[in-house]
Amino acid sequence: MEKVIAVLPGDGIGPEITDQAVKALKAIEKKFGHKFTFVYGIIGASAIDLCGDPYPTETHNLCLNSDAILFGAIGDPKYDNNPAAKVRPEQGLLKMRKELGLYANIRPVEIYESLIERSPLKEEKIRGVDLVVVRELTGGIYFGEPRGRDDNGNRAFDTSLYTSLEVERIADVAFRLAQTRKNHVTLVDKANVLETSRLWREVVSRVHKKSYSRVALDYLFVDNAAMQLVTDPTKFDVILTENMFGDILSDEASVLTGSIGLLPSASYGLKTPLFEPIHGSYPQAAGKNIANPLATVLSSAMLLGDGLGLREEASLLKKCCKKIIDERFFTPDLCGELPPRTTSEVGDRISAEILS
Ligand code: IPM
Ligand code: MN
């Protein structure tokens, strides 16, 4: 099969971790006799440095003309500490998601047996956790207008905005996904306070009644959900939620696994699907060859399976990742007392395993 994959390494550790995922994809290509063409684009702080735009038109066109996008990370401390900056790296990622219409962000949280001891929660709480956050990705307070400042810069405002249609289409994704899993959706919102959340409840229960009444549906307020994610994480199957709550809850959920460096994600919608780790650009580690590439390699497994429909290839890649996790071939975030492995050693090991 011939496929074009856009690779957008981005900032911080982005280039190092995407290199490892590309290595793994090349090993899969070789093993299965496919032809993958990798085309590289710029995004984020590195794109601002080069051309002043965090998501240049050339990058957008590259994405439009590809079958799938592999993305590393975005963000640079020089912007984090400068609230007055007019152009910010994160705008690149948000613009890409919006312009490609990628409204459905899927963030699976899986537990690896050999990492249970690394979780900050007790073993008996963690065993059996298997959940997915379905995060709405192109609406809500991230994009709503008006936003800005008035009163000479002394008053700031953002707008959380959702339409029934936006809620309906993401609800569909969540229910369909639940049908392939444990048949249970939890809608997380703040319907006791927010009008947008009351719209979510209304629309989600309507979609449920109409087309998915066999799926169990329950509702949780986001504060309560944040608590139950750590007190009772096995109760969740599919967590359906809006953009901002999904951002926060998926970081929280990721620590259950023992490292945020393990969580992949996929975003689908109207145009080319995007695959990226949920973690950030970890600037302190940039260029040091110490970052954990597993979340990105696992994202490339989602790219193969869900993005390109190459199920066998995806499952082999996942199996190889799992094998090296079981062998505790770990970067410093996970290695504890064991000898630390470098980012590229982990990548080499995965591709060797694929080709073995
Ligand atoms: C994520 C990130 C982004 C988000 C940032 C970098 C804009 O935190 O993908 O979770 O908030 O969506
Ligand atoms: Mn986030």
Residues 207 and 310 in one domain: no
Give the pLDDT confidence score for residue 336 in this predicted structure. 86
On the 0-12 / 13-18 / 19+ scale of CB atoms within 10 A, 52 is: exposed
Question: What's the whole-model pTM score?
Answer: 0.95
Q: Does the CB atom of residue 247 touch ligand 1 within 6 A?
A: yes
Which stretches of the chain drop beneath a pLDDT of 50? Answer: none
Q: Are both 85 and 140 inside the same structural domain? A: no
List the catalytic residues.
Answer: 142, 190, 223, 247, 251
Residues 60 and 144 in one domain: no
Same domain, 198 and 334: no
- Ligand 2 centroid–CA 249 distance in Å is 9
Whether residue 128 sits in one domain with residue 244 = yes
Per DSSP, the three-state class of 14 is helix
Question: Which of 69, 98, 247 has most ligand 1 atoms within 8 Å of CB, for mutation?
Answer: 247
Cα–Cα distance measured from residue 338 to residue 335, given in angstroms and rounded to the nearest whole number: 5
- Judging by DSSP bridges, how do beta strands 144-150 and 264-268 pair with one another? unpaired
Ligand closest to CA 45: 1
Task: Out of 262, 296, 328, pick the residue that ends a domain.
Answer: 262
Do residues 115 and 252 both lie within one domain?
A: yes
**Would you say the CB of residue 115 lies under 6 angstroms from ligand 1?**
no
pLDDT at site 118: 85
Residue 351 neighbours by CB under 8 Å, 6+ apart: 23, 24, 26, 27
Q: Is 180 found in the same domain as 87?
A: no
Nearest to 41 by CA among 7, 76, 64: 7
Q: Which tens digit of pLDDT belongs to each residue from 246-265?
A: 999 999 998 898 888 899 99
Which domain range does residue 47 map to?
1-102+269-356
Same domain, 71 and 118: no
Instruction: Using the mean position of ligand 1's atoms as its centre, give its distance from the Cα of residue 73 in Å.
Output: 9
Q: What share of the chain is helix, strand, coil (3-state, %, to 5)?
A: 50, 20, 30
**278 ligand 1 Cβ < 6 A:** yes
What's the confidence (pLDDT) of residue 261?
85
The pLDDT score that the predictor gives to residue 85 is 84
65 & 145 share domain? no
First to last CA, the chain: 21
Nearest residue by C-alpha to atom 7 in ligand 1: 90
Which CATH number is 188's domain given? Answer: 3.40.718.10
Domain count, the chain: 2
Whether residues 258 and 274 share a domain: the answer is: no
The verdict on 85 and 163 lying in the same domain is no
Res 117: pLDDT: 86
Q: Count of residues for the chain?
A: 356
Do 136 and 239 lie in one domain? The reply is yes
| Angle value at C-alpha 237, between 236 and 239, nearest 5 degrees | 80
**Which pLDDT does position 5 carry in this prediction?**
98
Kindly state if the Cβ of 239 falls inside 6 Å of ligand 1: no
Residues whose Cβ atom is located within 5 A of ion ligand 2:
247
Residue 295 CA to ligand 2 center (angstroms) comes to: 14
Is 274 within 8 Å of 101 (Cβ atoms)? no
Q: Give 156's strand partners.
A: 149
